[in-house]
Amino acid sequence: MSDLDVIKLETDPVPFGRTFVQSDAFKALFQEGMELVEETAAYLDGPGREESRHLQRQVTVAYASESMRLTTRLMQIASWLLVQRAVGEGEISADQARLEKNRVRLNSQASVATIDDYEALPRRLRDLIGLATRLHARIMHLEQLISESEAQTAPPKENPVAAQQRMLLQAFGAEA
């Protein structure tokens, strides 16, 4: 393939993350995430608290652990969404977002409850856990796509050997 066969663009590719965080799809995802955070908080502070009082002791431990895991997952989701929105609105740079990403890690947390204990949890709590788990998986996938896109559009690092060779040629002339 010759240079004539390749179309050369005058612009660099646009990173997926930059375009996604400014899209309607991101706005919908943001809204969905924040609504789930609010819905979960309202449930855990109200009906969930009342439902937990009527559970058997062993299931109460599972309830406490799963609700804490759910809350942690939702805080990770909310933090990621807020950082991405700030990037999309130009409040912070992509580099600043990467620093924030190091502080708030999107990690998966497996349930420690047995199947019987999990099934004994209130239905609404299990529904919220399922919604948060699916949203978390989508966000982790998006984070991977954004990170890969940024890595592909980053300027290539100079080969250190080539840099040394260039310096030698400059120091000793082209005949060296």
pLDDT digits (tens, 9 = 90+) for 103-159: 666 776 777 778 999 999 999 999 999 999 999 999 999 988 888 776 665 555 677
Overall number of domains in the chain: 1
CB 100 within 8 A of CB 78: no
pLDDT at 176: 45
Flag whether 99 is in a domain: yes
DSSP string across 19-65: HHTTSHHHHHHHHHHHHHHHHHHHHHHTHHHHHHTTS-HHHHHHHHH
Identify the H or E element spanning 134. helix 123-153
Q: Is residue 103 part of a domain?
A: yes
Residue 106 belongs to domain with CATH number? 1.10.8.930
Q: What is the pTM of this model?
A: 0.73
Distance CA 113, CA 129 (A): 13
- Domain with 72, as residue range(s), is 14-172
136 within some domain: yes
**Residue 1 domain-assigned?**
no
For 110, counting Cβ atoms within 10 Å of its Cβ (0-12 exposed, 13-18 middle, 19+ buried), the class is exposed
pLDDT at residue 27 tops 50: yes
Query: What is the rounded CA–CA span in Å between residue 132 and residue 40?
Result: 9
Q: Is residue 167 part of a domain?
A: yes
User: Do the domain assignments include residue 2?
Assistant: no
Q: Is residue 6 part of a domain?
A: no
Q: pLDDT (tens digit, 9 = 90+) per residue, 42-70? A: 999 999 999 999 999 989 999 999 999 99
What is the reported pLDDT for 65? 94
154: in domain: yes
